[in-house]
Amino acid sequence: MTIALGPYDTLDLEQPSPGVLIVRLNRPEVRNALSTRSCQDLLDLFARFGAEPERWRCVVLTGAGDKAFCAGMDLKERRDMTDEDWNRQHLLVERMMLAVLDCPLPVIAAVNGAAYAGGCELVALCDFAYAVPAARFALTEVTIGIMPGGGGTQTLQRRIGYARAAEIILTGLPFSAGEAHEWGLVNRLCTPETLMDEALATARVIAANAPLSVRQAKRAMSFGGRMDLRSALFFEVDAYNRLVATEDRREGIDAFNEKRPPVFRGR
């Protein structure tokens, strides 16, 4: 089912089941590299998620084709940029990456191939990731005279630890899907044939849960993880208390006691 959002030149959107949205980076001819237009499209879409979180319950982010999730920024587009053009584009990249990070909905990365530079940073901004065994990851920026600027120096070390992140970022060398799985960047390895099925199965489980509860739990984890433990515990309680007066909380308790599946309405 095609979704009436956009239109987006660089994204393909699909709703495979209620509340679940697949977002495909759709530039397979350049390994789904991010152009200025790609970043504008992603920023607009994820801003919509922030403004209308009740419309969806879970997002699966993947790449078109079977070669790459995302090869990073489109360096052919960047070749003739002036310094001013480069900085202007990077302001857009920053806003887009923050929109993904701040998305109130759970975002699952389904990594169907190479995730390099900005592509690897996108994976690390998602809540968790599944990947095919042939996927490769890298932050290659120091090999071309720049450095990660889409969150990579911060997100990767929070996922896999400082020492491993430092080795990856300072060498620019790629690492395998198996290593990404062992180190905690990837939750699950899936065959190419089952990657989307497994990611969507998890998305449907999430979508069946109380949407306000899911969003508040994600908010507590996202913000609490940046606080000291005592402050984070108080933040969690505040997030919890916001759910007490909801219809979904009452529905969940009633359904449990009546031995029936709950029907959550996000209210």
3-state secondary structure of 137: strand
The edge-to-edge listing of strands for the beta sheet with 58-63 is 11-17, 20-25, 58-63, 107-111, 128-131, 188-189
Residue range 133-148: mean pLDDT, rounded:
97
Backbone angles phi, psi at 24, to 5 degrees: -105, 125
Residue spans of beta strands (DSSP E) within the chain: 11-17, 20-25, 58-63, 68-70, 107-111, 114-116, 128-131, 136-138, 175-176, 188-189
Domains detected in the chain? 11-207 (3.90.226.10), 209-257 (1.10.12.10)
Please write the tens of the pLDDT for every residue from 144-176: 999 999 999 999 999 999 999 999 999 999 999
pLDDT at 2 > cutoff 60: no
Q: What pLDDT, on the 0 to 100 scale, is given for residue 7?
A: 86
CB contact set of 244 (below 8 Å; sequence gap of 6+): none
pLDDT at 55 > cutoff 50: yes
Please state, in angstroms and rounded to a whole number, the distance separating the CA atoms of residues 119 and 177.
14
3-state secondary structure of 9: coil
Residue range 89-96: mean pLDDT, rounded:
96
Please write the tens of the pLDDT for every residue from 174-196: 999 999 999 999 999 999 999 99
